């Protein structure tokens, strides 16, 4: 990491070295700073502290001062083997007032992610950066800087259907040390110039006045023929700028063009007062017996009220043999994975008890919630588990949860981060659809950063691909 920062300093110093020299005064300096980061809510990290370094070249003074600089910092992301290195290059306007300068500007940022999982890998994302801060010169050898930095990533690594951008915020403070500084040159006394005799300029020749010509106007409506769209307007008619009558109705819909908001309505169309076609109400579908099947395809048009019908409107016959439910948990024995559940016990769709949280448990893994390979589409069997989860959350309105998506180590970090967040968003959307209040659910994607077992075997990878619920309402 240290070698990367040194390499960054050398590259930015090379870029700054070819910048144009200062017009009045300037400086070249290096500096270090501490930084406190506040990451975007869609990322699994909240607040982190770290350090960084920068190189800067200043030019000008007073209200005409500018700075071109580059900087980099490093963050070790908690509970992962991933390191984040933001690298920025920007141009600042830095008006100075004595020893105090104001810094405003922006540029580009490149976030690099490095991980040792599944071999050494690195990924990056690009965005824009902005800065606002203060610079206080402490004599000729130090400068104190305090600034707020905002990085806007318009194509982040964790992008999904619900996440299209990230905004990370940083508060930085540190010292800069000038390596070179040009002092303002002293102004020399002005030299009094001898008056110069200037020869009188000859009097210019008079310019002939421009003779205005009158353009032809055959119908005498005040609009020349060269731009008259209606060249045979009746005498005395009031016309528009194109020479056509003000009361013209191009599409013959009864609304003159000056008030027609839809001047190309089809001939014969019914229009409103603005000349636009009116919507025609759709014909009402006839359903004599009210069973939801239109009469046009209802083969049993006199079905009694309340009787379940099939797609052609005929009653559905009851089952010939009633299914057996030994433990009376409303799940037939043919589908009951736990046929001896005690009476009154709340069970899931498979007939087994599924308490979300026991006692003060904070985290539970939703076993049975699975997705299509490399997609965020739920498998059909997963809905039975999520239906029970939604029921329990509705019965416990005080519970707030985080829905965390996790993947195995297959594929790269960026792809897994996006996939895990998309799957967590899918589960959240399903629970909201089932009646759980949206403000009680938060979706987070952790990618491959938090495995619960080794990824060396297929069984281990299957356990690491999971969705977890973590309670947020319990005190920490």
Q: How many CA atoms lie within 13 A of 424 on its CB side?
A: 32
User: Does the pLDDT of residue 320 top 70, yes or no?
Assistant: no
Instruction: For 255-278, write each residue's pLDDT tens digit.
Output: 777 778 788 888 878 888 777 887
Say what the pLDDT of residue 213 is: 61
Higher confidence at residue 92 or residue 357? 92
Closest to 16 in 3D by CA, of 89, 86, 77, 93: 89
Whether the per-residue pLDDT at 323 is higher than 50: the answer is yes
Contact 49, 173 (CB under 8 A): no
Give the pLDDT of residue 285: 72
Mean pLDDT, range 51-55, rounded to an integer = 95
Q: Which of 95-99, 152-156, 299-303 has the lowest mean pLDDT?
A: 299-303
| Lowest-confidence region among 72-76, 208-212, 284-288, 332-336 | 208-212
User: Would the pTM count as exceeding 0.75?
Assistant: no
Q: How many Cα atoms occupy the beta-carbon half-sphere of 464 within 13 Å?
A: 21
pLDDT of the residue at 356 = 73
Compute the distance between CA of residue 122 and CA of residue 138 in angstroms, rounded to an integer: 40
Q: What is the pLDDT of residue 15?
A: 41
Coil, strand or helix: which one is 458?
Answer: helix
In the beta sheet, which residues pair with residue 104? 93, 132
- The 3-class secondary structure across 215-266, one letter per residue, is CCCCCCCCCCHHHCCCCCCCCCCCECCCCCECCCCCCCCCCCCCCCCCCCCC
- pLDDT tens digit sequence for 188-200: 556 566 665 655 6
Q: What band does 33 get if pLDDT is binned at 50, 70 and 90?
A: very high
All structural domains of the chain: 2-182 (2.40.160.20), 363-471 (3.30.1330.60)
What pLDDT shows up at residue 119? 59
Model pLDDT, residue 407: 94
Residue 143 pairs with which residues in a beta bridge? 137, 176
Q: In percent, how much of the chain has pLDDT > 90? A: 34
Comparing 333 with 343, the larger pLDDT belongs to 333
CB burial of 398-422 (b: ≥16 within 10 Å; e: otherwise) equals ebbbbbbbbbbbeebbbbbbbbbbb
Q: Which residue has the higher pLDDT, 41 or 106?
A: 106
**Among 131-135, 271-275, 358-362, which stretch is predicted with the lowest mean pLDDT?**
358-362
Q: How far apart are CA 322 and CA 318, in angstroms?
A: 9
Max CA separation in the chain (angstroms):
124
- Has residue 319 got a pLDDT over 60? no
What secondary structure letter does DSSP report for 347?
Answer: B
Question: Which positions ≥6 away from 232 have C-beta within 8 Å?
Answer: 218, 219
pLDDT tens digits for range 443-469: 999 999 999 999 999 999 999 999 999
pLDDT at 121: 74
| The residue count for the chain | 476
Radius of gyration for the alpha carbons in the chain, expressed in angstroms and rounded = 38
**Angle of helix 382-395 relative to helix 413-433, nearest 10 degrees?**
60
Instruction: Give the model's confidence band at 341: pLDDT under 50 very low, under 70 low, under 90 confident, else very high.
Output: low
Range among 121-125, 254-258, 380-384 rated most confident: 380-384
Confirm if 93 and 81 have CB atoms less than 8 A apart: no
Mean local confidence (pLDDT), 75-97 = 88
The whole-number pLDDT of residue 92 equals: 94
Question: Any idea which of 329-338, 403-412, 417-426 has the lowest mean pLDDT?
Answer: 329-338
What band does 49 get if pLDDT is binned at 50, 70 and 90?
A: very high
Residue 150 has what pLDDT?
97
Average pLDDT, the chain: 81
Of the candidates 35, 277, 8, 41, the one whose C-alpha atom is nearest the C-alpha of residue 156 is 41
Contact between 131 and 148 under an 8 Å Cβ cutoff? The reply is: yes
**β-bridge mates for residue 128, sequence order:** 108, 152
């Amino acid at each position: 990491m240290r070698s990367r920062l040194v390499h960054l300093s050398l590259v930015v110093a090379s870029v700054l070295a070819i910048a144009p020299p200062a017009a009045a005064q300037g400086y070249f300096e290096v500096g270090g700073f501490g930084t406190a980061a506040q990451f975007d809510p869609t990322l699994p990290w909240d607040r982190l502290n770290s350090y960084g370094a920068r190189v800067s070249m200043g030019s000008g003074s007073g209200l005409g001062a500018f700075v071109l600089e580059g900087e980099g910092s490093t963050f070790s992301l908690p509970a992962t083997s991933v390191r984040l290195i933001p690298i920025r290059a920007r141009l600042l306007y830095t008006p100075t007032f004595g020893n105090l300068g104001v810094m405003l500007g922006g540029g580009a940022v490149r976030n690099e992610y490095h991980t040792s999982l599944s071999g050494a890998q690195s990924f990056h994302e690009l965005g824009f950066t902005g800065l606002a801060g203060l610079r206080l010169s402490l004599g000729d050898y130090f400068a104190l800087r305090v600034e707020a930095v905002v990085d806007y990533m318009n194509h982040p690594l964790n992008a999904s259907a619900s996440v299209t951008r990230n905004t990370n915020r940083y508060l930085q403070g540190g010292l800069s040390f000038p390596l070179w500084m040009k002092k303002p040159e002293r102004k020399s006394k002005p030299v009094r110039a001898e008056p110069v005799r200037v020869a009188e300029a000859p009097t210019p020749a008079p310019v002939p006045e421009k003779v205005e010509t009158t353009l032809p106007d055959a119908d005498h409506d005040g609009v020349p023929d060269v731009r008259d769209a209606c060249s045979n307007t009746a005498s005395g008619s009031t016309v528009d700028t194109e020479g056509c009558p003000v009361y013209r109705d191009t599409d013959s819909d009864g609304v003159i063009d000056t008030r027609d908001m839809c001047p190309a309505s089809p001939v014969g169309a019914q229009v409103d007062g603005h000349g636009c076609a009116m919507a025609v109400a759709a014909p009402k579908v006839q359903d004599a017996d009210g069973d939801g099947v239109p009469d046009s395809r209802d083969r049993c048009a006199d079905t009694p009220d309340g009787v379940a019908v099939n797609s052609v409107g005929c009653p559905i016959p009851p089952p010939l043999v009633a299914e057996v439910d030994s433990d009376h948990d409303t799940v037939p024995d043919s589908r009951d994975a736990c046929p001896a559940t005690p009476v009154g016990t709340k069970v899931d769709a498979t007939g087994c008890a599924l308490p979300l949280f026991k006692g003060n448990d904070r985290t539970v893994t939703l076993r049975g919630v699975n997705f299509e390979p490399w997609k965020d589409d739920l498998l059909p069997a997963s809905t039975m588990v999520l239906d029970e989860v939604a029921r329990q959350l509705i019965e416990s309105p005080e519970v707030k949860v985080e829905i965390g998506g996790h993947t195995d180590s297959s594929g790269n970090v960026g792809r897994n981060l996006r996939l895990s967040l998309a799957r967590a968003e899918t589960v959240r959307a399903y629970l909201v659809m089932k009646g759980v209040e949206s403000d009680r659910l938060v979706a987070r994607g952790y990618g491959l950063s938090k495995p619960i077992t080794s990824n060396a075997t297929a069984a281990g990878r299957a356990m690491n691909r999971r969705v977890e619920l973590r309670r947020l309402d319990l005190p920490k």
